[in-house]
Amino acid sequence: MKQRAIVWFRRDLRLADNPALSAALNSDFDAIVPVFIHAPDELGAWAPGGAQRVWLHLSLERLSAQLEALGSRLVIRHGPTREALDTLIEESGATAVYWNRLYDPLTIARDKNVKKHLDDSGIETASFQAHLLHEPWTVETKQGGPYKVFTPFWKAIKDRNLDAPMAAPDALPEVWSRIGTETLASLDLLPRLDWGRRIRQTWTSGEDGAHERLEQFLDNAIDNYDNDRDRPARHGTSYLSPHLHWGEIGPRQIMHRLEEWLDTHSGKALQDHAASFRSEIGWREFAHHVLYHFPETPEKPLDPRFEAFPWSGDDEGLKRWQQGQTGIPMVDAGMRELWATGYMHNRLRMTVASFLTKNLRVAWQHGERWFWDTLVDADLANNTLGWQWATGCGADAAPFFRIFNPARQGERFDSDGEYVRRWVPELAKLENRHIHEPWKAPAKALKVAGITLGDDYPQPIVDLKASRREALEAFDQIKQSD
């Protein structure tokens, strides 16, 4: 009797180092059916946002082409997942379903339900590790609990051995023509208005695009990573986060390729830059560790004191922040980059998050939501950890009194104003010494630059010093519950 398997693709949209696919190929199955099931309702409020959907469409397009080049094809189905798998099992005669694990709360709950249903139906199930270097439950403190601080977490895992990545298959079995598929267009992932055009121009999604991005980083940026990664006008970071989120490349592949590259390059400075980059992969691991052990954190602060924080409820301020019209150039530049490209430099993520939660005192969940809908790399673990870190209410968080001054951030990390001029062209002719605080510029300097504040560019919507003081006073109200 012929044995057939379904390989259920999710956020592992690659062929190399795909444990579920490799396990199916290394078993005695006569045929393998690759399937992607679109079931956003099963992810509730954390279904992919608008920018993620654009990326997903393009990534599925490329995965489909890869499979066809190897003699297979991608079967696309609409959810619910259980019903879609049941139908595909009946059509294909599959006796097994393989997939790679994910770690956000709703996906874990859904996967457990699917596994029980398939097991009860006599279908073999197997899940594998592909998304992280180490699964969250394999890392614990000496007391046996989860970590809440990054440094000891990273120290505990950074020297653990990693298996070598698995090679991509050279060929795949044909999927019978009688097994139908929905069209990619039927998933309705692309927006009606083509606001995603800039995303397509900025990024190359898919497995090949991920590896090209990694090689560009190794060739052009890692040798000055510590110096350039905080300067948003430079291409000083890896830009791998959206590829990692969708599993077009895995962290094990990145670590392995980095070690290969370092074997042919030398120098202590380079080793230090590489160590810093590895720790950023470690932060991603830490984010998933925290989310797994504290699944309530996408909605609730890890520090319960912040449930009583007196947020301002400033709807107009939130709207101006979203639009990049706050009158604070570094904030506006970051928000406009986000809207145009689906991405924001990490230095700016910290800056705009601090401004929203501390200068405007808008609850961090509103910023988390906006990032979720507009970032191509919006990842529930990373997004949650980042917003709670910036607010001061999460794991290993910056203390609340650490309030970023966006003007000083600009002076330090965009001293020549290149980044601001790129995204806030209204200020392009303003001198460097005034570009991060145009409200302090003399009337003559504004006139020479062709700027009338309030007409060509907004006046600041908040006073940075006064709002900082008010934020600290608000924090004093909840410190009593220590």
Do 103 and 160 lie in one domain? The reply is no
Do 69 and 140 lie in one domain? The reply is no
Find the domain containing 345 and state its range: 304-479
Q: Given the residues 83, 91, 124, 280, select the one marked as catalytic.
A: 280
* CATH code assigned at 258: 1.25.40.80
Q: Given the residues 140, 182, 311, 418, select the one marked as catalytic.
A: 311
Query: Which of 168, 130, 179, 165 is CA-nearest to residue 31?
Result: 179
192, part of any domain:
no
406, part of any domain:
yes
E-strand stretches of 261-365: none
Q: Please give the C-alpha separations between residue 227 and each of 269, 398, 414, in angstroms, as whole numbers.
A: 11, 21, 13
The pLDDT assigned to 398 comes to: 77
Compute φ and ψ for 127, nearest 5 degrees: -125, 155
Per the annotation, the verdict on 346 as an active-site residue is: yes
Residue with more model confidence, 191 or 95: 95
Q: 17-33 burial, b if ≥16 CB within 10 A, otherwise e? A: bbbbbbbbbeeebebbb
Do 414 and 327 lie in one domain? The reply is yes
Is residue 193 scored above 80 in pLDDT?
no
Q: Given the residues 8, 154, 364, 389, select the one marked as catalytic.
A: 364
Tokens standing for residue 411: 């002076």
Q: Given the residues 83, 346, 432, 470, select the one marked as catalytic.
A: 346
Do 37 and 124 lie in one domain? The reply is yes
Residue 69: other Cβ atoms inside 10 A:
11
Do 289 and 320 lie in one domain? The reply is no
Do 416 and 455 lie in one domain? The reply is yes
**What's the pLDDT band for 473 if we cut at 50, 70, 90?**
very high
Spatial contact of 70 and 169, defined as CB atoms under 8 Å apart: yes
Query: Which of 442, 480, 179, 234 is CA-nearest to residue 348?
Result: 234
The average pLDDT across 414-425 equals 97
Q: Please give the C-alpha separations between residue 301 and each of 37, 298, 305, in angstroms, as whole numbers.
A: 32, 8, 8
The pLDDT assigned to 399 comes to: 82
Average pLDDT, the chain: 95
Per the annotation, the verdict on 370 as an active-site residue is: no
Is residue 145 scored above 80 in pLDDT?
yes
* CATH code assigned at 402: 1.10.579.10
- What is the pTM (predicted TM-score) of this model? 0.95
Do 213 and 279 lie in one domain? The reply is yes
The average pLDDT across 218-240 equals 94
Instruction: For residue 437, give the amino acid letter.
Output: E
| Residues in CB range of 288: below 8 A, 6 or more apart | 103, 131, 132, 136, 381
Do 122 and 153 lie in one domain? The reply is no
Q: Given the residues 61, 283, 418, 432, select the one marked as catalytic.
A: 283
Do 232 and 355 lie in one domain? The reply is no
Region at 454 (left for phi over 0; alpha for psi -120 to 50; beta for the rest): left
Domain boundary among the residues 293, 324, 347 is at: 293
210, part of any domain:
yes
Do 259 and 309 lie in one domain? The reply is no
Domain boundary among the residues 293, 321, 349 is at: 293
Per the annotation, the verdict on 364 as an active-site residue is: yes
Per the annotation, the verdict on 283 as an active-site residue is: yes
**What's the pLDDT band for 374 if we cut at 50, 70, 90?**
very high
Q: Given the residues 246, 387, 389, 439, select the one marked as catalytic.
A: 387
186, part of any domain:
no
Q: 436-446 burial, b if ≥16 CB within 10 A, otherwise e? A: bbbbebeeebb
Domain count, the chain: 3
Per the annotation, the verdict on 195 as an active-site residue is: no
Per the annotation, the verdict on 321 as an active-site residue is: no
Is residue 331 scored above 70 in pLDDT?
yes
271, part of any domain:
yes
77, part of any domain:
yes
